[in-house]
Amino acid sequence: LPTPVIAIDGPSASGKGTVAALVAQALGFHYLDSGSLYRLTALAALRAGIALDDEARVAALAASLPAAFVGGEILLGGEPATEAIRREECSAGASRVAALPAVRAALLERQRAYRQAPGLVADGRDMGSVVFPDAALKVFLTATAEERANRRHKQLIEKGMSANISTLLQDLQERDARDAARSVAPLQKCADAELLDTTQMSIEQAVQAVLTWYRARA
Ligand code: C5P
């Protein structure tokens, strides 16, 4: 039997990363945050002074990304990048480089390499549609844009950062529109994906819903 994959896709700030990591923990599976690879690619381009729409050069960077995941820390070229890749500049940059077909192709095998026994939980935009089309379970995890902006706002405030809800909402909506409108691997719910609208759900409830679907299939 192939190593099982649970693919969790959805829009930005939907909480899919948190849910995916907890599901992986509950099952003892590996976890792939595919967005971090696009974020790291954007950060590498910004650091190297490469224009984010220079497809060939950005794809070359993505193909040889000197990234390492050490404990909870993400390193880029040996330097800490965990915090930098979460900044708005990298969020917007990631969604720009992610629209380039050569960049997506450069990251494909790297993502598939995370599929290792006993299993993988992967979150992103195209985990179910492109990277792991044979996933044992596909979930499209979402929440209203207002709720997602509220969650992001709360998160930033807790980290002691300042944030404006209407700016956050606008940034989210711009990024969602770009992710949904691009020609390669656009953000969309696969026909065979379960829809999980978490607008009125706690993290624990969302995790349980995914585990229940998975156990019913396994
Ligand atoms: O998930 P996260 O918000 O960290 O992803 C950052 C950006 O990377 C997204 O806005 C999207 O453009 C891109 N992305 C993607 N495909 C994935 C994961 C992320 O295009 N599988």
Give the per-residue SS3 of 59-107: HHHHHCCCEEEECCEEEECCEECCCHHHCHHHHHHHHHHCCCHHHHHHH
- Residue 85 CA: nearest ligand 1 atom is 4
Any ligand 1 atom below 6 A from CB of 35:
yes
Any ligand 1 atom below 6 A from CB of 9:
no
pLDDT in tens, 190-199: 999 999 999 9
What mean pLDDT do residues 32-49 have? 97
Pocket test for ligand 1, best of 125, 155, 182 (most atoms within 8 A of CB): 125
Residues recorded for the chain: 218
pTM of the model: 0.94
What mean pLDDT do residues 38-47 have? 97
- Residue 97 CA: nearest ligand 1 atom is 12
Evaluate whether 191 touches 140 at the Cβ level (below 8 Å). no
Q: What is the pLDDT of residue 113?
A: 96
Q: What is the pLDDT of residue 30?
A: 96
Is the pLDDT reported for residue 1 higher than 90?
Answer: no
Least confident of 79-93, 105-119, 126-140: 79-93
Q: What is the ipTM of this complex?
A: 0.98
| Amino acid (one-letter) located at 93 | G
pLDDT in tens, 143-173: 999 999 999 999 889 988 888 999 999 999 9
